[in-house]
């Protein structure tokens, strides 16, 4: 992995880690994802594996669309409650919103995991694999709030993975010896 890709990916992941900061968090998160996408695109091209970028992009799109649709259903729930509709309808909209949020989170982190496992195989840096694992298990456990913290730790680990990746990565001879993960 070349130095520019490492810095773009590391700074992008770091900005995502900092996206919890009030007022600036949304800007940090957006900038972080843009930098991370650029880094993953460069890594995909360098390792001649379009799956790295495509899987991460699929995960992002599933997450974004799931959150958007879940937000719409949550808005319906608020509207139904304020409009004097039955509380059953309001609760129904909230349940649908939560299920959409949860399912989109699990599907998206599965794509993130695939992308990061491939990156770990190409770079020889297992921190990418561990970040992918934390995303995946954090996504599954978001149903019990602790999952969000686990995923945040995954972003921290991804930051470290980019900044500690070797300049050139492992050669193809070593990749063949290694069994694919995931």
**pLDDT, tens digit, for every residue of 21-74?**
999 999 999 999 999 999 999 999 999 999 999 999 999 999 999 999 999 998
Provide the domain limits for residue 42.
3-163
Q: Are 107 and 124 in contact (CB under 8 A)?
A: no
pLDDT value at 141 more than 80: yes
The stretch 117-123 carries a mean pLDDT of: 94
Q: Is residue 58 part of a domain?
A: yes
Closest CA to 47 of 103, 134, 97, 121: 121
Distances (CA, A) of 182 to 5, 31, 35, 93, 100: 24, 29, 26, 35, 25
pLDDT of residue 173: 41
What is the structure's pLDDT at 181? Answer: 57
The pLDDT, as a whole number, for residue 168 is 66
Neighbours of 157 (CB within 10 A): 22
pTM for this predicted structure: 0.84
C-beta of residue 49 within 8 angstroms of C-beta of residue 1: no
How many domains in the chain? 1
177, part of any domain: no
Query: In this structure, is residue 175 part of a structural domain?
Result: no
Closest CA to 157 of 52, 17, 43: 17
**Higher pLDDT among residues 173 and 127, named by residue:** 127
For residue 171, the model assigns a pLDDT of: 46
pLDDT of residue 180: 53
Q: Is the pLDDT of residue 12 over 50?
A: yes
């Amino acid at each position: 992995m070349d130095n520019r890709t490492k810095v773009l990916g590391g700074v992008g992941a770091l900005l995502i880690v900092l996206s919890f900061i009030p007022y600036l968090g949304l800007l940090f998160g957006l900038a972080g994802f843009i930098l991370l996408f650029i880094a993953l695109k460069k890594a995909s091209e360098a390792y001649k594996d379009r799956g790295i970028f495509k899987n991460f992009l699929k995960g992002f799109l599933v997450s974004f669309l799931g959150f958007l649709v879940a937000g719409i259903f949550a808005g319906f729930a608020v509207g139904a409650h304020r409009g004097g509709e039955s509380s059953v309808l309001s609760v129904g909209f909230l349940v649908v919103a939560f299920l959409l949020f949860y399912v989109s989170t699990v599907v998206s982190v599965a794509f993130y995991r695939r992308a990061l496992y491939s990156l770990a195989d190409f770079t020889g840096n297992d921190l990418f694999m561990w970040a992918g694992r934390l995303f995946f298990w954090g996504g599954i456990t978001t149903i019990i709030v602790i999952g969000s913290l686990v995923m945040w730790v995954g972003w921290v680990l991804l930051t470290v993975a980019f900044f500690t990746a070797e300049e050139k990565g492992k050669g193809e001879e070593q990749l063949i010896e290694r069994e694919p993960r995931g």
